Chains A and B, each alone.
Chain A
Amino acid sequence: MSLPASTVNAFAAIVGQNSVLVEAEDLVPYGFDGTAALKGRPDAVVFAKTTAQVAECVRLAAGARIPIVTRGSGTGLSGGSVPSQGSLVLCLVHMNAILDVDPRNLTLRAQPGAITARIDEAAGRHGLFYPPDPGSMRISTIGGNVAENSGGLRGLKYGVTRDYVMGLEVVLPDGRVARFGNQCVKDVAGYSLKDLFVGSEGTLGVITEVLLKLVPRPASRRTMLALYDRIEDAAQTVSAIVAAHIIPCTLEFLDRMTTRSVEEYAHVGLPTDCEAVLLMETDGHPVVVAEESAQMEALARAHGARDVRTARDEAEALQLASARRNAFSALARQRPTTILEDVTVPRSELASMVAFIAETAAGFGLQIGTFGHMGDGNLHPTFLADERDADEMHRVHEALEAIVKRTLEVGGTITGEHGVGLAKKPWLRQQVGDASLDLMRQIKGTLDPLNLLNPGKIFD
C-alpha cells in the first residue's frame, strides 16, 4: 500500500517537500512506539510546524479518507501511536516551542512537541514546578502526555497530567480549530471539553497547544531508600505511612529482579540482595520535610525494614529517581521480550495484589519483575519472556488474564497511566461495562464520524 503521488504532493504543498516521508527506510522506524511486540507501517509520515498546517493536513486526509495517527516522540506504552494499516503518521516533534511562562498566573503555554522535562526546566527558571514526571520525561512530548493523561513518580502527592491542564487548542477531525479552557482557576462555563480530550489517545482531535498549571517549586526535599527482606513489609510500610496521614511525593517499589536490573545499568548503589526496595521522597517546607522523613524512616523500621538510607545530596537523589525511571527498560536486560502491565488497585488492596502477582508468575512458570508507584496503587508487573517461544507467550497471556481478573475483582483498573491503546483494548468492556463503552463510542462517532483519527485504539 502506498499513497498516490498526487496525495503526497498535496501534503508536500502544505508542509514542504522535506516534511513528507514515503521511503521504506523512513517509514519502518515509525512503525512502533515504546510498547513490546506491536508493529505497523504507515503509508507516510508528515511533519507539521503550525496549527494551520495541522488543520490543513487533517482536512486533506479527511477528504482522501486517510486515517491519521498523531505522534510525538513515540514512547507510549500501550501502542497508542502504532500506525494502523494505510495510515498517515502526523508527527509534531517540530512544534516544540515553550510559548510563555506566566509567573503572575502560574501558567505555562507550550506547543505539543515540547519535551516534558524542558517544560519543568522552564518553570524552574521562575521558581515554579511542573510535577508530572513520566518515566520517559527526558524525551516524551507534552502533547503525548496530555493525550495519554500520563502519570509518573509524583502522582501520589501531585496527581497526573490531567490535574495540570488548564486549556487546550485542538484541531477537530473536520479541520476546525477549537480552544478549550483558560487561565482562570475557576471556570464552569459549559461542559469541560478540555477534560474530554485529556486522555483521548489521539482519537478525538489533534492537540496543537496546551496551557498548563504550575505550582511553587518545593523549597526542599529528602530522598530515602528502605530495604526489605519481605515484599509484604514494604507494602505494610506504605499502608502505615498513608494511615499516619503523610502524603509523600514519591513511594516507589522495586522488587529484587527490578532492583538487580536497574543496578546493572545505573550503578547507583542499589542493594541487590534484598526482596524489596522502597524509594521514598518527601518535599516541601524544610521543617515539614525533616519531620515527615523522620516519621517515614521510623515507620519503615517498625515494619521490618532492614535498613533505611538517606540520599547524601540533591545529585544522589536525582540519580536514584532517574535510575527508577529506567526500571522498565532495564528489565529488558534479562530476557528479549518485556511485557509491561499497568494494573492499578485501591491502596488497601496493594499488599494482596503484589502477593497475587508473584504467585501467578510462579504458577505459570514465568519470570516477572514488579515495580511501581506503591503510594498510588499503580503497579507495573513486567513479564520477561521471548516472543519467539510460542508456549511461553501463551502462558504470559494466561497469567495476564488472571491478573486483570483479580484487579477488576478488587475494584482496580486495567491501566493506571499508560492508556488503553491497542494493548489493553481486550479488557476495556470488562472494566467499564456496556453503557460506559457505548457512550465512549457515541462520543467518538459524533466527533469523528469517518473514524479517521487513530482508528482502532481504545476500542474497535
Chain B
Amino acid sequence: MTAPLRLRSIDYSILQQCIHCGMCLPTCPTYDATGRERNSPRGRISLMRAIADGDLEISSSFADEMSYCLGCLACQTACPAGVQYGVLFETARSDIQASGVDASPKRRFWKALTLRFLFMRPQALRAAGRLLRLHQRSGFEALSRRVGLTRLLPADLRRLEPQAPAIAPKFSNALIAPVEEPREPARYRVALLTGCVQDLVFPDINRDTADVLLANGCAVETPASQPCCGSLHAHNGELEMAAELARRMIDLIPPDRYDAIITNAGGCGSHLRHYSPLLGEDPRYAERARVWDSKVRDIQEWLVEIGPRQPAASPFDEPATVTYHESCHLVHGQKISRQPRTLLGLLPGITLTELPEASWCCGSAGIYALTQPEQADALLQRKVGHIATTGAALVATANPGCHLQIARGLQSAGSPAQVVHPVTLLARAYRRE
C-alpha cells in the first residue's frame, strides 16, 4: 500500500462519535434488505474503526461492502449522535480506491469510463451525448438490436443500452442565454448550474429553473460550458479529481459576484455546498471555497427563502394529483424537505398526496444502478409500488438520477404516471398566466 490510509489519519472522534445505539438500522435500505450488521451504517462504521485501529486491513470484502452502501445518508438524518457518515463513507471509498483492492472489473470499468473520462470533460460528455442521441434517433438502435448486433457488447452495456436515457436535441447552452434579466429590475443576481445529466437529458428543467428565477425577480447568469461539480467523484472515492473540479467551478463562477449559486439537482447540491473540506488545505482556494459553500442553494430552498410568488394559473387545464419523492441528497444530504412541498402547495389546481416512504432511496444513487443492479432494482420496485398506492398522475422529484430511475420503473410497470421536477410545474403555471 503506497499512500497512508485516510481512515487512519482522519479525526478519530468522527469514528468515535458512533455509539452503535442502532437508531440508524431501521432507516438503512441495505440493512432492511439483508438484516446483516455489516450492511448497516453502524456495522460499516465498525469496520472502518477496525481499519483505523489496525485490527483489519482494507480488503476486497470491505470494498464490496462500501460498494453495496447506497450512500443515501438516511442514517445521517436518523443519527441522534450526529455522526458524519457522509465524510466516513467518502473517506473509506477513497482508501479503497487508493489501495486497488476493488478488483471487480465491472466496477472498475464503470468508474474509469464515467469518472475519469466523461465527467472530467464537459465537451467530451456533450459529444458522447450527441453520439448517443444519434444512435437513439437513427433507427440504427432498433436495427442493431433486431439483428443482434448488441450481443457483441459487454454484458453490462447490453443490459443497460436499452435503458440509456433519451438524450435531448439541444443542451442547456442552446436554451439559456449567458445572462438573462427579469422584466422588473432584478432583486437578486444568481448563477445557475446546469449539471451533467440534467444538461444532457433534462435541459428543459434548466430552462424551467431559469424561467422560475426570472419570474421571481432574479437575474440569471448561466455560463455556457460548465465543469461537472465533482459529486460523482467524491462519492466514489476520487477526492483529488473532485478537488480539481471544485477549483475549476470556482474559477468559472466567482462566488462573491452572486447572491446565490443555484442548483436544481439534489445529488449535485449535496456535494456543491461542501467544497471547503476539499479545498480547505489549498491556500489559493480555501477562502473562496468557504464563500462558495455559503452561497450554494437548491432552487426550491432559494425560492422559499426569497418568498415565492404564487402563480395565478394552474400548470394544466385539468386538476391533477401530484406526489413527491425525496431525493436522498436533497432530504438527507441537504435537509431540504419542507420547501418542495411548500412550492407544490402554491400551485392552483394541483393536489399534493404524500408518498409512503417518500424519503426511502429509489435505488438510483449516482452510478449505483450500474454497479449494484439487483439491489437498485429491488428499491425501484418498492418505490413504484408506493407510487401506485397514491394514485397520483405526477411524481415530483428534484434530482435527475431519481427522475430517470423512477420514470424507467413506472414505464416498465405500465404506469401512466409522469415524473416532473417541481420547478417544471411552477414554470408551466407562470407561462400560463
Contacts and interface: CB of A to CB of B under 8 A. Distances in A.
Interface of A: 21, 23-26, 28-34, 36, 47, 73-75, 91, 93-94, 115, 136, 138-140, 262, 264-266, 326, 328-330, 332-333, 336-338, 386-387
A31 B22 CA distance: 13
Given A25-B38, A25-B47, A94-B35, A338 B80 contact: no
A91 B81 CA distance: 26
B412 interface: no
Contacts of A387: 16
5 contacts: A25-B38, A25-B56, A115-B26, A336-B16, A336-B17
B17 A23 contact: no
Nearest to B64: A25
Given A25-B56, A26-B38, A29-B40, A34 B61 contact: no
Of B16, B22, B26, B50, most A-chain CB atoms within 10 Å? B22
A323 to B, nearest CB: 9
A333 B46 contact: no
Interface string B1-43: 0000000000001001101111101100000000111101011
A400 B62 CA distance: 38
B22 A29 contact: no
Contacts, number: 97
Given A139-B26, A329-B79, A29 B42 contact: yes
Contact of A34 (B21, B46, B47): B21
Nearest to B24: A139
A102 B167 CA distance: 57
B294 interface: no
B82 to A, nearest CB: 5
B61 A74 contact: no
A207 to B, nearest CB: 18
A333 B81 contact: yes
A73 B46 contact: no
* A73, A329, A387: residue with the most chain B Cβ atoms closer than 10 Å: A329
Interface in B28-86: 35-38, 40, 42-44, 46-47, 50, 55-56, 59, 61-62, 65, 79-82
B386 to A, nearest CB: 17
Contacts of B44: 29
Nearest to B43: A29
A47 B36 CA distance: 9
B30 to A, nearest CB: 12
Contacts of A74: 20, 22, 37
Contacts of A26: 36, 38
A326 B80 contact: yes
Contacts of A29: 36-38, 40, 42-44, 46-47
For the complex of A and B, 9 pairs with smallest distance between CB atoms: A29-B43, A29-B37, A329-B80, A332-B81, A326-B80, A336-B16, A75-B22, A330-B80, A25-B61
Contact of B19 (A93, A266, A332): A332
A268 to B, nearest CB: 12
Contacts of A75: 21-22
Contacts of A115: 26
A424 B322 CA distance: 54
B36 A329 contact: no
A36 B19 contact: yes
B38 A32 contact: no
Contacts of B43: 28-29
A115 B42 CA distance: 18
Contacts of A94: 35
B20 A139 contact: no
Given A32-B46, A75-B22, A332-B17, A264 B37 contact: no
Contacts of B22: 33-34, 73-75, 136, 139-140
B16 A28 contact: no
A32 B26 contact: no
Nearest to B16: A336
Given A29-B36, A386-B16, 15 more contacts: A21-B36, A23-B61, A25-B61, A25-B65, A26-B36, A28-B56, A29-B47, A32-B46, A91-B35, A326-B23, A332-B21, A332-B81, A332-B82, A336-B16, A336-B17
A65 B48 CA distance: 32
Contacts of B50: 28
A11 to B, nearest CB: 16
Contacts of B21: 34, 75, 136, 328-329, 332
A34 B20 contact: yes
A336 B61 contact: no
A28 B36 CA distance: 12
A33 B404 CA distance: 39
A47 B37 CA distance: 12
B162 to A, nearest CB: 32
A139 B24 CA distance: 9
A338 B19 contact: yes
Contacts of A30: 37
A24 B51 CA distance: 12
A331 to B, nearest CB: 8
Contacts of A73: 22, 25
Interface string B396-431: 000000000000000000000000000000000000
Nearest to B50: A28
Nearest to B22: A75
A286 to B, nearest CB: 28
A136 B38 contact: no
Contacts of A28: 38, 43, 46-47, 50, 55-56
A32 B40 CA distance: 14
B47 A265 contact: no
B397 to A, nearest CB: 24
A343 B82 CA distance: 26
Contacts of B17: 332-333, 336
Contact of A333 (B37, B42, B82): B82
B51 to A, nearest CB: 10
A338 B40 CA distance: 21
A36 B21 CA distance: 9
A7 B43 CA distance: 26
A28 B47 CA distance: 7
A93 B13 CA distance: 31
B59 A25 contact: yes
A386 B62 CA distance: 28
Nearest to B83: A332
Given A24-B56, A138-B26, A333-B81, A47 B20 contact: no
A93 B22 CA distance: 14
Contacts of B19: 34, 36, 329, 332, 338
B59 A336 contact: no
A24 B59 CA distance: 10
A265 B80 contact: yes
A332 B20 CA distance: 11
A332 B19 CA distance: 7
A332 to B, nearest CB: 4
Contacts of B61: 23-25
Contacts of B20: 32-34, 74
